[in-house]
Structure 1
């Protein structure tokens, strides 16, 4: 296993991060344990969870599985999305962050969370308040590094500036959506991460299942997120996404490679990505993503795959500013 460094932290992690969102939901404890054992066999040491996953059950199951080897693992969790009907069980206020981290630590059965993500942007709470709370948690040793998911690049840049100005712990890891049909992260998020030396773990490398090769012309499986979950149906409902998925499946067929493994390897191959997050409902499904570790994703092959989907427009209409060509 060739481990990678998370930004400027010095922390070494596997090139795949195992996401445990299915723990306690689609995967019961026995199935979760089987998947955990499988990724550990391969040397994967990076695990992503959140307080909101299965109402806390994901953290509880992961905590039990990790108990005997906690010091060998790098574990993330998150705060921000609602954990109950009370209006204060959500957001990024100091009050909620302080309560949430204690609950996550208890469920995980650990004394610290390696990377603690703010899971969503909170318009009601000043960024300064959130950063001060995270800095206090780092000083207390309850989290080792603050992290951020689902923020725009300008929001993250603002937070980095505030942290630098006030001498606070800064975000060291970001978690954006990134796959062949959702490449918006390439415009500003990934360049920001590379410029500021931030770690990046990306989610949905399979596009909610769209890039698995199961969705071809005239074909649609009976189950799966794109069929059963309205959020994913909306997210990947564009005709252009389906066209890209069909082109990609054909490319994988011609290369004699599983589309699942190839899609994960493509995300893993971006120079700004530390590790894509892979998850599954069972070990059999997980194996497809794990096979990405066996693919030699050269720059040439990655460029060929990238050409199958539209390149997102640049962050500015002044193309010469980006290229340096003034004449």
Structure 2
């Protein structure tokens, strides 16, 4: 396992981060603990969760897993999503953040969260309000660093500017979606992260399973996120995504590599990526992703794989400049 520094924090994390969205849902407690143990055996010290995963159950299970090794673990969780039916039980208001950080700390059985992500952008709450709440939590020692997940580059940049101007704790890590068929992060988010020295942990390297080898234009499994969950089915609905999966599957078959392993290796090979988040329903799926650690992703291989999908247009749409 290789370890990388998260931005300017000095914190060293494994190049793979394990995401616990399956805990308490697709993976029961025993299965979750087995996967946690396997991750630790592989050298993973970085674990990602969220208060909304399985309505808090994922945090509870992860809290049990890290009980005897908390100081060896770099831990993240998130706040934003609805945690009840009350109109204020959601968003990034100071009220919601202050309530939910206490709930997360209790469920995780810890006294601090290493990286605390705002899970989505909140159009109802001024950034200053959110950033001041996060700054207070850092001062109190309940979080070490704030981060942002699913924010656009302009939103992250604006927040960094406000934090600098008001001398507040700034985002030190971001969490965008990134995989072979969802490459929008390459346009502005990843360059921003490199420029501002932000840590980056990317999620969904398998595209909800699309790049696992089980999907294609004429290939569908009996079960899986793209079959069972409308959110993922809609996200990857375009036929072009399945055409990319066909080309990617063929590429992997020619080289005798498991598609899941190569998809993860490709995502974590981007120079701006600190760690790629992997997830699994069971130990068998986990092993496929862990195989990424055994692959040597050369620049030539990365270019070949990238050519299998559509490279997003540059931020200015001056496509001719990419040819210079």
1:283 matched to 2:300? The reply is no
1 CA distance for matches of 2:116 and 2:221? 36
Offset at residue 317 of structure 1 (A)? 2.7
* Partner Cα distance (2:68, 2:292) in 1: 28
**Equivalent residue for 1:91?**
91
Partner of 1:82: 82
Would you say 1:298 and 2:314 are equivalent positions? no
Q: Which residue of 2 aligns with 1:44?
A: 44
Deviation of the 1:318 alpha carbon: 3.6
| In 2: Cα distance, 1:139 partner to 1:228 partner | 43
- The answer to whether residue 126 in structure 2 is matched with residue 126 in structure 1 is yes
Distance in 2 between the 1:219 and 1:166 partners?
A: 53
Structure 1 segments (4+ residues) deviating >3 Å: 322-325
Q: How far, CA to CA, are the matches of 1:272 and 1:158 in structure 2?
A: 20
Structure 1 residues 217 and 238, CA, compared in 2 at 3 Å: closer, same or farther?
Answer: closer
Show the 5 A alignment for 1:95-114. 95-114=95-114
1:141-178 deviations in Å (ceiling 9; x for gaps)? 00000000011000000000000001011000000000
Q: 1:157-236 to 2 correspondence within 5 Å?
A: 157-236=157-236
| Aligned-partner Cα distance in 2 for 1:7–1:292 | 23
Alpha-carbon spacing, 1:323–1:313, altered in 2? closer, same or farther (3 Å) = closer
Maintained 8 Å contact 2:31/2:283: yes
Find the residue that maps to 2:177 and give its secondary structure.
coil
Say if 1:260 and 1:323 are closer, same or farther in 2 by CA, change over 3 A.
Answer: closer
1:312 aligns with 2:321: no
Alignment correspondent of 1:28: 28
Q: What TM-score comes out, normalization by structure 1 length?
A: 0.97
Question: 1:146 is matched with which residue?
Answer: 146
Aligned residue for 2:66, secondary structure, equals helix
Any idea what SS the aligned residue of 2:103 has?
helix
2: CA distance, partners of 1:217 / 1:174: 33
Please give the alpha-carbon distance, in whole angstroms, between the structure 2 residues aligned to 1:150 and 1:214. 27
Q: CA deviation at 1:218?
A: 2.4
- Who is 2:63 aligned against? 63
Q: Distance in 2 between matches of 1:218 and 1:185?
A: 28
SS of corresponding position for 1:139: helix
In structure 1, distance between residues paired with 2:87 and 2:12: 38
Listed one character per residue, the Cα deviations across residues 63-86 of structure 1 (whole Å, up to 9, x for unaligned) are 011010100000000000101110
Gaps of 5+ in 1: none
User: Given the alignment of the two structures, is residue 250 of structure 1 paired with residue 250 of structure 2, yes or no?
Assistant: yes
Give the secondary structure class of the aligned counterpart of 2:276: strand
SS at match of 2:211: helix
Work out whether residues 46 and 73 of structure 2, in 8 Å CA contact, stay in contact via their aligned partners in 1: yes
The TM-score normalised by the length of structure 2 is: 0.98
Tell me how far 1:239 sits from its aligned partner: 0.8
- 2:174 is paired with a residue of what secondary structure? strand
User: Aligned partners of 1:29 and 1:282: how far apart in 2?
Assistant: 11
For structure 2, the residue ranges without an aligned partner over 5 or more in a row are: none
Distance 2:317 2:202 in 1: 27
Aligned residues of 2:193 and 2:200 also touching (Cα < 8 A) = yes
Q: Secondary structure at the match of 1:105?
A: helix
Distance 1:155 1:185 in 2: 13
Q: CA deviation at 1:182?
A: 0.4
